[in-house]
């Protein structure tokens, strides 16, 4: 009998792969990506509003199928994808790069590397695309 020892990294990979069987829907947290905006100190609140209004007009769905974006307190942008969630970091990076190219004075940004949980402080979207996408009974769309 041969005993194989898995490194911690291999064990994590095995657990992740075994938890996402073909056809199983992802959780919403698996599909949320975000970016922290790093505004220059000289940027006024009016300038931020003008720039972020342009962001709101540019749909992330131009980059990838998405169910929405949310700008949080003028400090972060969150997107939730309804397809290709395993590429959420790359998709968010492409979206942010496009914003940076298209919107004058768009601030520098840093992609959020941590898992982002859905919520009122990030993005809160429900739908048939996710295992946990059924809205609570009190939810009003």
User: What CATH architecture is 25-132?
Assistant: 2-Layer Sandwich (3.30)
pLDDT at 58: 79
β-pairing, 108-111 vs 32-38, is antiparallel
Taking every pair of Cα atoms in the chain, the longest distance, rounded to a whole number of angstroms, is: 69
Q: Where are the domains of the chain?
A: 25-132
Residue 81, SS3 per DSSP: strand
Beta-carbon contacts of residue 21 (< 8 Å; ≥ 6 apart): none
Tens digits of pLDDT across the chain (141 residues): 333 443 434 333 333 443 444 579 999 999 999 999 999 999 999 999 999 999 888 776 666 767 788 999 999 999 999 889 999 999 999 999 999 999 999 999 999 999 999 999 999 999 899 999 898 887 666
pLDDT at 136: 85
């Amino acid at each position: 009998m041969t005993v194989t020892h898995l490194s911690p990294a291999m064990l994590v990979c095995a657990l992740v792969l075994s938890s996402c069987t073909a056809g199983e829907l992802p959780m919403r947290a698996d599909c949320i990506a975000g970016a922290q905006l790093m505004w220059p100190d000289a940027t006024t609140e009016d300038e931020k509003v003008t720039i972020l209004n342009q962001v709101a007009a540019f749909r992330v769905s131009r980059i990838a199928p998405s169910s929405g974006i949310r700008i949080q307190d003028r400090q972060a942008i969150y997107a939730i994808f309804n397809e290709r969630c395993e590429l959420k970091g790359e998709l968010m990076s492409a979206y942010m790069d496009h914003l940076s190219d298209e919107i004058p004075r768009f601030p520098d940004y840093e992609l959020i590397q941590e898992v982002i949980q859905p919520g009122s402080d990030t993005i809160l979207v429900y739908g048939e695309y996710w295992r946990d996408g059924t809205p609570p009974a009190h939810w009003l769309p």
